[in-house]
Amino acid sequence: MPLVAHNDLPSFNRLRGEGIRVLAPDFALHQDIRELHIGLLNMMPDAAIAATERQFFRLIGESNPIAQIYVHPFTLAEIPRSEKAQQHITQYYETFDQIREQGLDALIITGANVIGSDLSSQPFWEPLIEVFDWAYENVTSTLCSCLATHAVLEFRYGQKRVPQPEKKWGVFPHQVVDNTHPLVVDINTRFDVPHSRWNSVTYEQFQVAGLRVLAEMDDGCVHLATSPDGFRTVFFQGHPEYDTISLLKEYKREVVLYSRGEREDYPPFPENYFGVFEKAVLNEYKLRLDEAIKNNSFLPELPEDLIVSRLNNTWHDTAGEVVGNWMGLIYQITNSDRKIQFMDGVDPDNPLRL
């Protein structure tokens, strides 16, 4: 299922360099294959905006159903941006008005960085509700990632996320708890997912909302769920889109905050991510960093080159399968006019029996 490079977004060239198949528009027009148009509402902060594009583009481009995929990134004008990030958005992104006019087959909503725990006070709150409500009525399926899941659970289902005493940070094992849903067909029954969050929506809250839980952690924390109909909304509470080095980058950001005195304690290791060797290297680095801070001398660089090649990715394959299943589901129940359709013999009240 190749991506179509319908504009000059730099992420397309980066993905080509990784071996992801990306078609030129003139070549795509000669292919007798149906198109799928996927929106990407990218609410991530400036430093992560391009990486988030690539992470979701990669998962979409590696999915299996036969179609040509046009991904339409857009963001919310209410999210403050630097001049450089705004330039990127102006040059490569579409507006919500353009998205609404052209229509979509499916929509992905990313997470976002927030100040404080109250989501309803964030600048993106009202415009996000507008986008989601439009998508719910006009788009086959919307996939919500992490904070977007928390926001939708609050404004649509009345379930506010719960602050956690400690950050859920690392790579955690999960178990499929409902193997009859098309999203989890033929995936590993146990699989890993990265998480990085201070808040959680509990299993009980998903149940009260009437949502269908498909996968959870050993401690009962939900990662994957759907709306009651099984396809209109898909919820990720973790970050299966993460690159192998994403948690290392987050760890480095926290170390930098510590070195500047903007964080009191030295950050703990993300769980189940670094091995014995990497922890030893980083513990040694902490000693050198503390000594340099104490002596007000030159701060040493984090020795990333000793760590990157030793990191393991234990989640990407399953993430690709889940997203591939999602894309296949959209392809099967959406016609070329972006209207939900059902194959012969399929019960419209139970469309997942495909």
Domain limits of the chain?
Answer: 3-243+314-333, 246-310
Structure tokens at 53: 């594009």
CA 143, CA 104: separation in Å to the nearest integer?
13
Q: Annotated catalytic residue: which of 221, 239, 254, 321?
A: 239
pLDDT at 329: 87
Q: Annotated catalytic residue: which of 53, 154, 216, 241?
A: 241
pLDDT at 353: 43
pLDDT at 310: 97
pTM of the model: 0.88
Check if 144 is active-site: no
Q: pLDDT per position in the chain (354 positions), as tens?
A: 568 899 999 999 998 888 677 888 887 776 667 889 999 999 999 999 999 999 999 999 988 667 889 999 999 999 999 999 999 999 999 999 999 999 999 999 999 988 877 999 999 999 999 999 999 999 999 999 999 999 999 999 999 999 999 999 999 999 999 988 999 988 999 999 999 999 999 999 999 999 999 999 988 899 999 999 999 999 999 999 999 999 999 999 999 999 999 999 999 999 999 999 999 999 999 999 999 999 999 999 999 999 999 999 999 999 999 999 999 889 878 766 666 654 333 444 454 543
Neighbouring residues of 339: CB distance < 8 A, sequence distance ≥ 6: none
Q: Annotated catalytic residue: which of 37, 146, 150, 181?
A: 146
Check if 126 is active-site: no
Whether 22 and 86 have beta carbons less than 8 Å apart is answered as: no
Check if 241 is active-site: yes
Q: Which residue has the tokens 């956690």?
A: 164
CA 21, CA 339: separation in Å to the nearest integer?
27
CATH for 3-243+314-333, options being 3.40.50.880, 1.10.510.10, 3.40.630.10, 3.40.50.2300: 3.40.50.880
pLDDT at 346: 41
